[in-house]
Chains A and B, each alone.
Chain A
Amino acid sequence: MDRHYDMTQEAPTLPELVCPAGNLSALKAAVDYGADAVYMGFSDATNARHFAGLNFNTARAREGIRYAHERGTKVFLAINTYAQAADCTRWQMAVDLGAELGVDALILADIGVLDYAANRWPELRLHLSVQASATNPEAIRFYYRHFGIRRVVVPRVLSIKQVEQLAAQSPVPLEVFGFGSLCVMVEGRCLLSSYVTGQSPNTSGVCSPASAVSWEDTSRGVESRLNGVLIDRYGGGEAAGYPTLCKGRFKVGDNTYYAIEEPTSLNTLALLPELQKIGIAAIKIEGRQRSSTYVKQVTQVWRAALDACKQDLPRYQARPEWLRALQQVSEGTQTTLGAYHRPWQ
């Protein structure tokens, strides 16, 4: 039986604020500044932010979970890459460890891992990761029917109208991205990184890995490359950005431009009332690779915005000081509504 939200019957509850914890200090910042839940991953290829110096070993994870739980904050564990055939036990061990550590939910993408978790730990709450690319109600039904998922993180490709329709037809509540780096491609369906570097989010939990990046100051400007492929070139006065390969400048015909996407961050603060009316269960903040200062700043702003919604939804407006604070920590210091806003597409 599908759940339908009846707006006339009950006021929708406030979405949960789900914040990134790339390490213990980021976790503490998120907890201290008002996250309802934090999400984290282990230090290996089982999660989609497998970056050097990031994430949690068992001892740190235990400490972080204790810190969060003592303060009433939930902890979600992302095991959201695809289990590789040669090494499936690594993903199963991550699931077992998460269950034993007492996390509140696992965020999973791989059908094999979901199947394992649902059978081995039937009581454990499962969320479908954005990396599973579920963009329509039939896809969500598949994961609900087979693995009893209780929430879906929706890819950043849907317009607000489509999110609304999906929420009305989905058998489980939706979590949407509110802020952070913007994937222009459907998550879990992008192999650009492995095409250039051999490593992709699906196989290795990385995109445009730092090990493949090189910079060179040339007479034409500063050049950023990924495994030798020129991603961008910066002239005098231009701030050089990280060469995420979909965010470089390329030539199509005679034009040189951001052919795929500008270096920009998603920011949906202005859409918050609509998201709440739709009945969205949770707002996710991207950025496990970012500093604890970022986490603190973003959590603080979103907590204030959600509380303002709670107090007086009809009069809610994104305040200029919030937008300024978010702007400061945005990639490329620009923000966009992304796919939520149809003309972006």
Chain B
Amino acid sequence: MTVSTTQPRLSLGPVLYYWSRQELLDFYSRIADTSVDIVYLGETVCSKRRSLRSKDWLALAQKLTCAGKEVVLSTLNLIESAAELGTLKRLCSNGRFAVEANDIGAVQLLSGNFPFVAGASINIYNARTLRVLADQGLYRWVPPVELSRAALADLQRQRPDGVETEVFVYGRLPLAYSARCFTARARNLPKDDCRFSCADYPDGLELATRERESFLVLNGIQTQSARSCNLIAEVGNMASLGVEVLRISPQQQHTETIIEIFRRELSNRPSKGNAVRVVDKLTPAGSCNGYWYGVSGMDACTIAEAPWR
């Protein structure tokens, strides 16, 4: 692995929630004006969400490219039906934009034909896996969100040449996928008649414990953490780990502000006050960073606890 001395670039992950067509278009026109370098576009959670069709996403990709962004088309995490596979095939063979694979089915379709990014739900836990995928055209990977800094450092030491690493540094953590739609279930509706319930929850539907402690977020067939992962305190050390890209996951509000706070941190022009606290105030339900520290993902550790300091 060659350790880059340049600062990591910033990326914006795909919108994980069900926003309307207008909300998505407005959001991305604001994103075009931010300093984010890479934008991942597309529906990754549920094939029933069709605010934008494939051709709309491609048009948006074109626009953002013109605005100077690198665009990657992201794909569904759980592929079951023939229709979902059909959409996936069209995206994989678009011939123009790189694709983020979130299922091995996508890797198979892209293998040997198109360079691809492996998203966080592709289970890459060791260098041998990374090498097999790099041989098939992987040029960037997002480690599983549960991977600790220590595990990532081990893997980075054995990383094949020509592969970039992108770390999920901000947002509610995607934790699980199911055949069941939990948002529909919360309304006593079956998945086949979900009435697009997700549209009512632009940051997902919060699930609390019986002690009213905010715990998880239901987002259709996806389950997320209620707390947002916040690794802004680590930004300055990512380059020494050989991390090239930092991913911010969109939320309904403040996404552009969060991008600029991370940008300032990367450029050594930190925001006034403690950056961790500044970002924490912009989360929907508090923050966590335990995975990075090798403990429970929900924990919020402080810099003082970091064994690598």
A residues apposed to B, CB below 8 Å = 82-86, 88, 109-113, 115-116, 132-139, 141-143, 145-146, 156-159, 162, 165, 184-186, 188-192, 194-198, 200, 202-203, 227, 229-233, 246, 249-253, 255-256, 259-261, 339, 342-345
Contact = CB atoms under 8 A, between A and B. Distances in A.
A336 B46 CA distance: 24
Most buried by B among A137, A138, A339: A138
A337 B55 CA distance: 38
Q: Which secondary structure characterizes the binding site on chain B?
A: mixed
A57 B128 CA distance: 26
Contact of A227 (B132, B192, B296): B296
Contacts of B191: 342, 345
Interface in B252-309: 290-291, 294-298
Most buried by B among A132, A158, A198: A198
Contact of B133 (A111, A188, A255): A111
Contacts of B19: none
Nearest to A81: B125
B210 interface: yes
B54 interface: no
Interface stretch (B9-17, B24-32, B58-66, B79-87): B79-87
Given A84-B125, A259-B182, 8 more contacts: A86-B150, A88-B128, A112-B129, A138-B79, A184-B180, A189-B78, A250-B216, A345-B181
A112 B127 contact: yes
B146 A203 contact: yes
29 contacts: A85-B151, A88-B127, A88-B128, A112-B129, A112-B132, A135-B78, A135-B79, A136-B80, A136-B85, A138-B88, A138-B109, A141-B108, A158-B80, A159-B179, A162-B81, A186-B176, A186-B179, A189-B121, A195-B297, A195-B298, A200-B146, A202-B125, A230-B210, A250-B215, A251-B212, A253-B186, A342-B191, A343-B192, A345-B190
Interface in B79-134: 79-82, 84-85, 88, 103-109, 111, 121, 123-129, 132-133
A249 to B, nearest CB: 7
A1 to B, nearest CB: 16
Contacts of B195: none
Contacts of A185: 176-178, 223
B300 to A, nearest CB: 13
A146 B192 CA distance: 36
Nearest to A116: B128
A58 B295 CA distance: 31
Question: What 10 A-B pairs have minimum CB-CB distances, sorted nearest first?
Answer: A112-B128, A157-B179, A138-B105, A142-B108, A195-B297, A82-B125, A85-B154, A139-B105, A112-B129, A190-B176
Contacts of A200: 146
B163 interface: no
Interface of B: 77-82, 84-85, 88, 103-109, 111, 121, 123-129, 132-133, 144-146, 150-151, 154-155, 158, 173, 175-182, 185-186, 190-192, 205-213, 215-216, 218, 223, 225, 290-291, 294-298
A85 B185 contact: no
A197 B290 CA distance: 10
B111 A142 contact: yes
A180 B288 CA distance: 34
A251 B208 contact: yes
A128 to B, nearest CB: 10
A229 B209 contact: yes
Given A112-B126, A191-B144, A229-B215, A252 B186 contact: yes
B132 A111 contact: yes
A186 B178 contact: yes
Contact of A191 (B145, B178, B205): B145
B210 A250 contact: yes
A342 B210 contact: no
A227 to B, nearest CB: 6
A98 B186 CA distance: 45
Most buried by A among B105, B106, B190, B210: B210
Contacts of B125: 82-85, 110, 112, 202-203
A340 to B, nearest CB: 10
Given A112-B126, A142-B105, A252 B146 contact: no
